Amino acid sequence: MVYQGVIFDFNGTLFWDTKLHNKAWDVFLERYDIKLDDQSKFRKIHGKNNKDILFGIFGEGFSDDKLARLALEKETLYQQLCLQTHMAMAPGAEAFLDFLKQRGIPFTIATASGKENLDFYFEHLPLTDWFDYDKVVYNDGTIKGKPDPEIYHKAMTAIGVDAGDVLVFEDANMGLLAAKNAGAGGIVVVNSNDDDYTDWRDYQIITNFEDVDRSLFPQ
């Protein structure tokens, strides 16, 4: 199989920040006297957008204004933690992105992150070297959360490549399901947090983008 386009999830895929998100959620939830074990975090948080996460934790009995305030509170904590670290792209990601760019293969990002984080990433990571901001698909408040395939369908449209010709890189179970539901021609699992991928053992699982077979793309 030769793929004509590539779509990347971002958090935990191109930027290995799962532990930072978990820490931010821990601090945030402690403020509201809520405790989640690791299994509950994996089920309620990983790969989902803030609306679905917060409704899953608090229930749906609050306004859009309160939802926005809570989401901003958590993401402010997260961004502060990011700035205390050396922010860098995933292992091997920059060389792989250079390869795709040199080959003229269209690619973009499909992320559950909101605009506040997308802007933050474009400010603090060298994303403009590879990505067109206007083609990135993110949580703008209208897209259904993963595992719904909508975000990947929109990303496929953004790069002008049919689903069956697209290779998706994902780390979270909800995102992997979204890519599968979108009919992606191929899926690569990015193991950035040593999660359990038993259900995805038939797919390639990588810990470095150098491991991606370059022959999967047009010469």
**In 99-114, which positions are buried (b, 16+ CB within 10 angstroms) versus exposed (e)?**
ebeeeebbbbbbbbbb
User: pLDDT band at residue 40, thresholds of 50, 70 and 90?
Assistant: confident
Question: Kindly report the CA angle at 122 between 3 and 2, in degrees rounded to 5?
Answer: 5
Looking only at the bridges linking them, the beta strands covering 5-8 and 186-190 are: unpaired
Q: Both tokens of residue 5?
A: 């386009």
Assess contact for 30 and 187: CB atoms under 8 A: no
Give the number of residues written for the chain: 219
pTM score of the predicted model: 0.90
Assess contact for 139 and 102: CB atoms under 8 A: no
Whole-angstrom distance, CA of residue 125 vs CA of residue 56: 31
Whole-angstrom distance, CA of residue 167 vs CA of residue 25: 31
Whole-angstrom distance, CA of residue 160 vs CA of residue 127: 20
Considering the domain 5-16+88-216, what is its CATH architecture?
A: 3-Layer(aba) Sandwich (3.40)
Q: Is 137 helix (H, G, I), strand (E, B) or coil?
A: strand
Strands of the 5-8 sheet, one edge to the other: 137-139, 107-114, 5-8, 166-170, 186-190, 204-206
Q: What DSSP state is assigned to residue 161?
A: -
Domain boundaries, the chain: 5-16+88-216, 18-83
- Say whether pLDDT at 76 is over 80: yes
Whole-angstrom distance, CA of residue 125 vs CA of residue 116: 14
10 Å Cβ neighbour count for 191? 15
Mind listing the pLDDT tens digit for each residue in 45-69? Answer: 777 788 888 888 887 777 878 888 9
Sign of CA dihedral 70, 77, 145, 130: positive
Mind listing the pLDDT tens digit for each residue in 98-135? Answer: 999 999 999 999 999 999 999 999 999 999 999 999 99
Least confident of 50-54, 92-96, 108-112, 182-186: 50-54
DSSP character string of 14-81: TB--HHHHHHHHHHHHHHTT----HHHHHHHTTT--HHHHHHHHH-S-S-HHHHHHHHHHHHHHHHHH
